[in-house]
Structure 1
């Protein structure tokens, strides 16, 4: 990577690799750039290399190859305590024998700051995460969300150049997880802190990140904004992993139409004649009550199953030999589909993703 390409980037990861023993590489030749104040998400299934990447950036795991540059300085060979990074671990790693204030102060005391400076900065950090009133409590006296805030305050209090978050919300219940992802994002934006966030949760990544790096088996599948990752996936894996989708094997004919068994559809992109993988997201398929225009695909089907999940009805529809998942919002005035109903399905051509070959 040239000096010009690095200019303006706060964090540069170049050809980073990690191999444990004689097995396949946990991370293989990964290159990323993170702008100042940007929140980059590393997203992927367990074992894809995202946490190993974060640990190499932090200096907790040595890289087998490649380099890490922060604000123009190569930190690849530096120990973790000299990289000026704050990290929040999945299990929070709080000291049970210390109170909240002591946990937050620990990193500052290790840096030799004066008692007055430590006290002032701990107070600011606890106010930032709304825990000032709980400074004297021990970790065991806190809820999961409060412990997560203590871990965040401890990472922020040292005023790091980069904040690293390793699945910090995975131990929280669904409602608290949603509240905390909003709070973390608000704090990160307020501080303008460059952040790398590891998660396997697609919703977290889409909601929190400026850009997302989708990883698979140690490799980078796609890097882009949440909109690009969701709406413009470059590979079947990204389309399948990020959000729900119908995945169907098909054949592209010479006339450009795609054969899904007896069904013929059009897609937003053209591909070569031969086997293809077609994907359509369930919430983009409508149970049509009136004819659609030329920019739509459609077919007849019969509902095999209807599941009520609160804000939507999840339907399984058999259509022209294929089985499609269809999601319909539970809005007043919409007809309620029932098992056994004959229906007409419709979805936009623009929502029909097509990839050459049969996806693995």
Structure 2
């Protein structure tokens, strides 16, 4: 199936700075793709170029086979949800939704019908005559989403739409956005710096750094098979320790020898293990395919559903996360513990050369 949205060697330069570098990406019809990365990685710049809010310095943007690179925003058939909602404060909810339809010369009867459908979609039928200041943050976000969808775009662009909401409401809204996107079958590009949001709702994730696409894949691929040390460290929590890969493939971590995955050759490497993949064991987990080590607990932190336990193992300090259980506080600082983790959960990357 041909892609619905294509970016061909897309670039954005600000003087000598290349904010986005030769980005090539294809998004399928009805796919929700996430642009994920830290501040300054180029994800919002990319979204603004797609939407026509910022001109590209080079490259092409193609929608359903049509080159839209030089077209103004209103000719690109895209709806945009901004981080700050960008609602008109002097208009009520229905007027905010109707405004874009009026600009497109949609007849009044059809405008009213579309506004009604959009408000029903986000469960705000009873709020049509309220002004934005009379709404909660979550309700304003729903209005912004409905305003983007009421024009019935072929592509929905979302620029960190949940960053102003509290944690519980953010989770509720991300699920609502995903449900609506899937129900409508609309192609969507979702910009976020929150890896949990991207993992939860995106079909695929494009991880960016310094304007460069570091890895493109499904949430499972990004999390379980990161392409490099940056992706592994940015997407999910991870322990990181310098080690040496020996000629036989094993890894030397101080006096400890362990097994790991990855294609890094002999020499200095970075060893990475996710905290929840390490188990506190009693020897029962030792065997083929497992690594084990003895260490000393240096800190224990209770964070509700999890116990966060720091363990010193030779030259490294490893964070271990385990589910908390009533009446079981877990090992205390100073206790000796045995750790076990699978060799395939030991990610190994070539050591970065200092700049």
TM bin, normalised by shorter chain, reads over 0.9
Quote the Cα distance in structure 2 between the aligned partners of 1:141 and 1:65.
43
Quote the Cα distance in structure 1 between the aligned partners of 2:327 and 2:259.
31
Aligned to 1:15: 9
Q: Does 1:226 align with 2:219?
A: yes
Deviation at 1:359, TM superposition (A): 6.8
SS in 1 for 2:10: strand
Instruction: Give unpaired runs (5+ residues) of structure 1.
Output: 1-6
Q: Does 1:79 align with 2:72?
A: yes
2:114 to 100, 117, 121: 121
1:313 to 307, 319, 328: 307
Deviation at 1:290, TM superposition (A): 3.5
Tell me the TM-score normalized by structure 1: 0.96
Query: Size of the alignment, in residue pairs?
Result: 353
Q: How does 1:143-222 map to 2 (within 5 A)?
A: 143-222=136-215
**Does 178-187 or 323-332 show the bigger shift?**
323-332
**Does 57-66 or 313-322 show the bigger shift?**
313-322
| Aligned 8 A contact 1:37 1:189 in 2 | yes
| Aligned 8 A contact 1:69 1:75 in 2 | yes
RMSD: 1.2
Q: Does 1:257 align with 2:250?
A: yes
SS in 2 for 1:62: coil
Map Cα deviations across residues 140-190 of structure 1 (whole Å, 9 max, x no partner): 000000000000000000000100000000000000000000000000000
2:273 to 257, 280, 290: 280
Aligned to 1:4: none
Aligned to 2:90: 97
Tell me the TM-score normalized by structure 2: 0.97
1:294 to 288, 291, 298: 288
Quote the Cα distance in structure 2 between the aligned partners of 1:334 and 1:349.
28
SS in 2 for 1:25: strand
Map Cα deviations across residues 200-228 of structure 1 (whole Å, 9 max, x no partner): 00000000100000000000000000000
Quote the Cα distance in structure 2 between the aligned partners of 1:88 and 1:10.
19
SS in 2 for 1:223: strand
Map Cα deviations across residues 254-298 of structure 1 (whole Å, 9 max, x no partner): 121111111111012343111111100000001113422211101
Deviation at 1:332, TM superposition (A): 5.0
SS in 2 for 1:19: strand
Residues 359 and 244 of structure 1: is their aligned pair in 2 closer, same or farther, counting only changes over 3 Å? farther
Aligned to 2:30: 37
Q: Does 1:344 align with 2:338?
A: yes
1:51 to 44, 51, 54: 44
